[in-house]
């Protein structure tokens, strides 16, 4: 045997810092080196391994490198590698391609009489006493065939279970697998997994064989009850007995593993099944599509489409809906549009779920033209509309800024008998009018909500407060906030961020105090921090500690907006140095990933996720760093760029204009790129002299 040697090496990588005032961080990586000697050991193994039945994970060694990313890892699922089977030595089959033949019932001339009796039992009281009393009227001797027919005809699972137990107590004939299977199927309708598992264990104890139908019923019941670990457990037990699952069970288990997030097992099962001659049905492909979609894996979704075409499987509406939903999560509106056209060309008619998915995709991508075309097509073809679709279309209009279309949709909902506007419908309208600065309309809808007894939600409150804040109508803002809190709305981090943003815009101290009073009711600690950064006596260590505490208590999606608003507050009070400190702290705690990007030929600043004040601060910080680079005579690239984004929303005020004004104020040699909107570029020969001139002042 080859002797192995392994050792761990700790390697430290230093990340150079241009600013010596900032702390220097180190990353630590551990490598393991394996060395195999060429000499063979002459000693035989003293303890030969004991043979055992391998577990499912060992039987299904992955045939691809496809895995879902772990929580602490970034990345997407990759397209599975193809499966090759050696024709001279094929792999062991992992499933049966034939559904198990069900045991035939012997012809019974008394079928009608027995079924009438079964119906009578089904209609009797659910108590055991009433049921046993009804059994005394059984018209025929409970032979095997008679008992089986009655058992299969009983509808409520409670009655089936009682009759099954009664048969066992009579001990008139041996209990066979089919009796357990019929009882389990009835229990599955009632989602009674514990009883099913109890019967299965009873079969094992009494040496009654569990067949494919038994295992299929156990596994699918566990799946319906969301007991996915139990489904896997019984699937593994099935394999250990040497029994092959049929196609129905196989598809169900694919879904179970996908819901457990075990993509490696899903792909292994799929590939082993195909290698065994299995032709996956649309349900199996729907499972794969959903799994890849939730991972945001575009390549995986394409792989599913290619597999369906190569195997000649025609997608049904369920598969199309799953694929559309997956493409929405993967951020692929173009592919979603193509797939929708393919759906129509196949002769299928989209349902409410199809249209809802597509509307969400277009709204998120801000594809106004495609959204309008979809809306017109829906009206002209009279496609089905439900409540969720109406609200999704309204939200899409709000995302894109389609005011007239939203108003028409809202009026249609008002005229509808089954899809009357609810809280989310009104919220979408508040967002539309709020984004457009139409305070009058927004307040009109706010008052209407009270009149028609529709409760305001936290999102509607946030939209309305944002609108009133931008318009400087602080008294009405305070009124809306108070009414919302009185109605039981609990301000969330997004609403607190909105109030913080209003504070940065207030011109008078009186207005600032009014808004801070509202914010204090929602987040007193945040108000305390605002006052801390305004104090004359300023200690960065104290600010750092308190900032860390606030960010730790804030939800991830609100952390960067909080920091942006705090920077804006500092700049509105001409506390620019403190604004730079906050930007540093935000960068330190990972709130601004990707702010700086470097290639051999270009260095860039990406401020698309920053507020106006934060973007200006980041620009100044960047210019200071570049000035130090020149001072130390370090190499510079040929080109510099700053990305602000163009803003695709109809009502977007755009960071680009404010950033351009600040560049002009600084007299910086950045110019708007002719090729890309929202991108400002400067050449090295223009930027270096300008920076040198600033060093001299």
As its CATH architecture, domain 596-696 has 2-Layer Sandwich (3.30)
Q: What gap in Å lies between CA 113 and CA 90, rounded to an integer?
A: 54
Integer-rounded Cα Rg, in Å, for the chain is 34
Residues paired with 324 in a beta bridge: none
pLDDT for res 68: 30
pLDDT for res 603: 96
Compute CA 492 distance to the chain's CA centroid, rounded to the nearest angstrom.
21
pLDDT for res 28: 29
pLDDT for res 97: 58
pLDDT for res 565: 96
Contacting residues for 485 by C-beta, under 8 A, at least 6 apart: 491, 521
Q: Between the CA of residue 74 and those of 70, 296, 301, 592, what are the distances in Å?
A: 8, 11, 18, 17
Task: Kindly tell me the burial class for residue 648, based on how many C-beta atoms sit within 10 Å of its own C-beta (0-12, 13-18, 19 or more).
Answer: middle
Contact 686, 669 (CB under 8 A): yes
Tokens matching residue 98: 């034939």
pLDDT for res 648: 52
pLDDT for res 204: 95
Exposure pattern of 50-80 as b/e (b: 16+ CB <10 Å)?
A: eeeeeebeeebebbbebbbeeeeeeeebebb
pLDDT for res 31: 34
Q: Give per-residue pLDDT as tens, 440-485.
A: 999 999 999 989 999 889 999 999 999 999 999 999 999 999 999 9
Tokens matching residue 353: 């779920």
The secondary structure of 440-456 as a DSSP string is HHHHHHHHHHHHTTPPP
Contact 322, 311 (CB under 8 A): no
Q: Give per-residue pLDDT as tens, 490-500.
A: 999 999 999 99
pLDDT for res 513: 96
| 536-543, Cβ contacts within 8 angstroms, sequence gap of 24 or more | 538/578, 540/581, 543/578, 543/581, 543/582, 543/585
pLDDT for res 49: 46
pLDDT for res 264: 87
pLDDT for res 247: 82
- Residues in the chain where the model's pLDDT stays below 50: 1-90, 105-106, 649-652
Contact 684, 623 (CB under 8 A): no
DSSP for residue 52: -
The torsion of the CA quartet 385, 302, 300, 308, rounded to 10 degrees, works out to: 80
């Amino acid at each position: 045997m080859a002797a192995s040697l392994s050792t761990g090496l700790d390697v430290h990588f230093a990340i150079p810092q241009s600013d010596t005032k900032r702390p220097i961080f180190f990353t630590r990586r551990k490598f393991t080196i394996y060395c195999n000697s060429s000499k063979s050991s002459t000693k035989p193994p003293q303890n030969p391994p004991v043979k055992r039945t391998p577990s499912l994970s060992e039987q299904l060694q992955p045939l691809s490198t496809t895995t879902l990313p772990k929580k602490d890892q970034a990345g997407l699922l990759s397209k599975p590698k193809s499966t090759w089977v050696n024709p001279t030595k094929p792999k062991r089959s992992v499933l049966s391609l034939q559904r198990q033949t069900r045991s035939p019932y012997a012809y019974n001339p008394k079928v009608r009489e027995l079924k009438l009796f079964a119906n009578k039992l089904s209609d009797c009281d659910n108590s055991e006493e009433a049921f046993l009393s009804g059994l005394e009227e059984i018209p025929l001797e409970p032979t095997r065939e008679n008992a089986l027919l009655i058992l299969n005809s009983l509808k409520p699972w409670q009655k089936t279970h009682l009759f099954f137990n009664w048969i066992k107590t009579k001990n008139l004939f041996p209990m066979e697998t089919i009796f357990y299977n019929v009882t389990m199927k009835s229990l599955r309708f009632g989602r009674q997994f514990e009883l099913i598992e109890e019967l299965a264990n009873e079969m094992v104890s009494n040496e009654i064989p569990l067949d494919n139908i038994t295992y299929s019923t156990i596994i699918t019941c566990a799946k319906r009850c969301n007991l996915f670990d139990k489904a896997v457990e019984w699937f593994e037990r099935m394999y250990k007995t040497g029994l092959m699952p049929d196609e129905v069970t196989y598809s169900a288990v694919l879904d179970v593993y996908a819901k457990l997030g075990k993509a490696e097992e899903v792909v292994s099962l799929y590939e082993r099944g195909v290698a065994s001659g299995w032709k996956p049905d649309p349900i199996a492909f729907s499972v794969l599509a959903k799994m890849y979609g939730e991972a945001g894996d575009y390549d995986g979704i394409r792989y599913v489409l290619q597999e369906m075409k190569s195997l000649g499987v025609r997608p049904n509406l369920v598969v199309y809906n799953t694929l559309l939903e997956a493409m929405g999560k993967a951020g692929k509106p173009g592919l979603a549009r193509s797939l929708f056209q393919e759906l129509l060309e196949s002769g299928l008619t989209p349902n409410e779920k199809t249209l809802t998915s597509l509307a969400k995709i277009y709204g998120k991508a801000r594809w106004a033209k495609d959204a309008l075309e979809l809306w017109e097509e829906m009206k002209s073809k009279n496609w089905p509309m439900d409540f969720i679709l109406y609200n999704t279309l309204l939200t899409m209009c709000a995302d894109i800024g389609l005011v007239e279309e939203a108003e028409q949709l809202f009026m249609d909902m008002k005229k509808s008998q089954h899809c009357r506007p609810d809280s989310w419908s009104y919220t979408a309208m508040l967002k539309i009018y709020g984004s457009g600065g139409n305070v009058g309309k927004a307040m009109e809808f706010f008052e209407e909500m009270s009149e028609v007894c529709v409760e305001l939600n936290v999102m509607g409150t946030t939209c309305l407060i944002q609108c009133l804040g931008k318009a400087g109508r602080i008294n009405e803002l305070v009124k809306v906030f108070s009414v919302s809190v009185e109605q039981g709305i609990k301000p969330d981090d997004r609403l607190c961020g909105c109030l913080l943003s209003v504070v940065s815009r207030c011109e008078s101290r009186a207005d600032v105090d009014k808004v801070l009073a509202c914010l204090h009711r929602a987040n007193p600690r945040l108000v305390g921090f605002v006052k801390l950064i305004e104090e004359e006596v300023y200690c960065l260590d104290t600010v750092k500690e308190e900032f860390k505490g606030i960010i730790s208590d804030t939800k991830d999606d609100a952390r960067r907006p909080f920091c942006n608003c705090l920077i804006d507050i500092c700049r509105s009070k001409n506390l620019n140095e403190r604004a730079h400190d906050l930007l540093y702290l935000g960068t330190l705690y990972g709130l601004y990933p990707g702010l700086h990007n470097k290639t051999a030929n270009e260095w860039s600043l990406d401020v698309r996720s920053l507020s106006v004040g934060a973007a200006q601060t980041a620009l100044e910080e960047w210019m200071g760093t570049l000035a130090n680079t020149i001072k130390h005579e370090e190499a510079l690239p040929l080109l510099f760029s700053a990305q602000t984004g163009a803003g695709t929303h109809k009502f977007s005020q755009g960071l680009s204009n404010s950033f351009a004004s600040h560049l002009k104020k600084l007299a910086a040699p950045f110019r708007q790129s002719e090729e890309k909107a929202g991108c400002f570029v400067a050449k090295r020969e223009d930027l270096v002299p300008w920076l040198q001139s600033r060093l001299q002042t």
